[in-house]
Amino acid sequence: MQPLLGLYSDLDKSFTSEFPHVERYFWTMVNQPNFKKVMGDVKQAESVPPVQKKAAPPKEQKQKEAKKEAPKEAPKPKAVETEEEEEAPKPKPKNPLDLLPPSKMILDEWKRLYSNTKTNFREVAIKGFWDMYDPEGYSLWFCDYKYNDENTVSFVTMNKVGGFLQRMDLCRKYAFGKMLVIGSEPPFKVKGLWLFRGPEIPKFVIDEVYDMELYEWTKADISDEAQKERVNAMIEDQEPFEGEALLDAKCFKNTLSKVWALLVGTECAGCFFVYYLKSFGI
């Protein structure tokens, strides 16, 4: 909280209003009676204080007597070049998915449409998805957890899915996913839908994310209307799903907020992160 106090004493309303969640958290805290007993009334700066420039140190007075010029050093002989010269750093190899032919589907545009559609989801988001979808540049995959009989505790099952999504972060630029936890009673079923760049599941994902082998992967055949409708239902978090209650639904897409991006590496990052987790009931 101390870093935030410093921010609000130096930053005016025109700046902090860009971050409404942090601002609401800050003013809620500083107006608590116990807080006021210690810190008193907190006021926000009306304007950003000007940066004070340090005065340049006074120049030394020139000596009346001119200094004798120091004798010039004899040029050093050039070092003999060794046969083994240091190799220049090799450029980072491009991801194979970046070398694929351009696709008409812009993944970030779909993610924005999904995030911003709050009503008429079928008519807006689902229709928009199929209008954007490029079967030559992307592929859709169903995944089914192989060991559902172990999913006997709801929060453990949901945490398992959350960990999987965290480890999938390496392909965030190339993928979109939905993971569903299904059932009102244990054992709970875990099923998912993934959109990947390219015709197959990226090899680097299979190699680096150990969770991949815990699922049975099936490529969706969108020429089959039943499979296409299953894609729609999973994107929409349709409930009931395949005749069963939906316990939880998680989405894999861009989640890093503008505020967090600005605060990473600063003292305020910890305060914001705690507030972010609390806003989701974590």
143 sits in which H/E element: strand 138-145
- What are the distances in angstroms from CA 275 to CA 4, 175, 271? 12, 28, 6
**Rounded to an integer, what distance in angstroms lies between the CA atom of residue 278 and that of residue 22?**
12
Closest CA to 50 of 83, 20, 87, 10: 10
Q: Is 102 helix (H, G, I), strand (E, B) or coil?
A: coil
Closest CA to 244 of 184, 193, 178: 184
Which of 178, 103, 94, 96 lies closest to 138, judged by CA? 103
For residue range 81-132, list pLDDT tens digits in order.
554 556 777 788 889 999 999 999 999 999 999 999 999 999 999 999 999 9
What is the C-alpha to C-alpha distance for residues 164 and 158, in angstroms, rounded to an integer?
10
CA gap 200, 212 in Å, rounded: 14
The CATH classification number of 101-256 equals: 3.30.70.1010
| C-alpha to C-alpha distance for 30 and 69, rounded to whole angstroms | 65
List, as one string, the DSSP characters of 208-248.
Answer: H-GGGGGEEEEE--TTSHHHHHHHHHHHHT-SSBTTB-EEE
Task: Please report which confidence band the pLDDT of residue 261 belongs to, taking 50, 70 and 90 as the band edges.
Answer: very low
Nearest CA-CA partner of 139 in 222, 250, 225? 222
Q: What is the pLDDT of residues 212-227, one digit of tens each?
A: 999 999 999 999 999 9
Q: List, edge to edge, every strand of the sheet that includes 246-252.
A: 215-219, 138-145, 189-197, 175-182, 246-252
User: Where do we find the tokens 């030559």?
Assistant: 136
Given a contact cutoff of 8 angstroms between Cβ atoms, the answer to whether 100 and 137 are in contact is yes
Instruction: Give the pTM.
Output: 0.62
pLDDT confidence of residue 57: 57
| CB-based contact 1:34 (threshold 8 Å) | no
Q: What is the pLDDT of residue 69?
A: 56
CA distances to 94, 109, 145, 167, 216 from 203, in Å: 14, 25, 20, 15, 16
Q: Going by C-beta distance under 8 Å and a sequence separation of 6 or more, which residues neighbour residue 98?
A: none
Segments making up each domain of the chain, as ranges: 2-48+260-279, 101-256
Q: Where are the alpha helices (DSSP H) in the chain?
A: 2-10, 13-16, 20-30, 33-39, 107-116, 121, 127-132, 154-167, 203-208, 225-236, 258-263, 268-279
At residue 49 the predicted structure's pLDDT band, cuts being 50, 70 and 90, is low
Averaged pLDDT, 131-145: 98
Q: Amino acid identity, residue 21?
A: H
